[in-house]
Amino acid sequence: MKKEWPIWEIFIRSKNGLEHRHVGSLHAADAEMAMENARDVYTRRMEGVSIWVVESIHITASNPENSGELFEPAQDKVYRHPTFYTLPDEVKHI
């Protein structure tokens, strides 16, 4: 029998209209307990209005060893950033 409860990743939406963001992880025996634990551990100071829980084993993560081929080719492709447009002064928040 496994002694330790599995790990769950917790995502919280801080207010309606914003996306859920990863806030941390915790131990729980199942999804329902993960939800209650997330409520107690991560929303004590009114951090959220909605919680998602995902068991960590269901997340497929990129391997740090592959960082070279995955991410470095983007480094010298500045033309992918829309930085060559001149923005009118009236447009803010970009």
Partner 1 sequence: MKDQLYEYILMLGDNAMILGHRLSELCGHGPNLETDIALTNISLDLYGQVRSYFQYAAELKGGDATEDSIAFLREEREYRNVLLVEQANTDFAYVIGRQFLFDAFHLPLLEQLCNSADTQIQAIAQKSIKEIRYHHRFSSEWVKRLGGGTAESHTRMQEALNHLYPYTKELFTETEIEAAMRDNGKGADLALVKAAFDASVESVCNAVGLTLPEQMRNYDKGKYGIHSEHMGFMLSQLQYMQRAYPNMQW
CB 24 → partner 1: shortest distance, Å?
11
CB 26 → partner 1: shortest distance, Å?
5
3 touches partner 1 (CB under 8 A):
no
Provide the terminal-to-terminal Cα distance of the chain, rounded to the nearest Å.
Answer: 53
Query: How far, in Å, CA of 63 to CA of 27, rounded?
Result: 24
Instruction: Decide: helix, strand or coil at residue 83.
Output: coil
The binder of partner 1 chosen from 7, 18, 31, 41 (CB under 8 A): 41
32 touches partner 1 (CB under 8 A):
yes
Enumerate residues 46-85 that contact partner 1 by CB under 8 A.
Answer: none
* Torsion sign (Cα): 27, 31, 35, 37: negative
Query: How far, in Å, CA of 61 to CA of 7, rounded?
Result: 15
Give which of 2, 60, 5 is closest to 31, Cα–Cα.
5
29 touches partner 1 (CB under 8 A):
yes
CB 46 → partner 1: shortest distance, Å?
13
Positions in the binding site for partner 1 (CB under 8 A): 5, 26-29, 32-33, 36-37, 39-41, 44
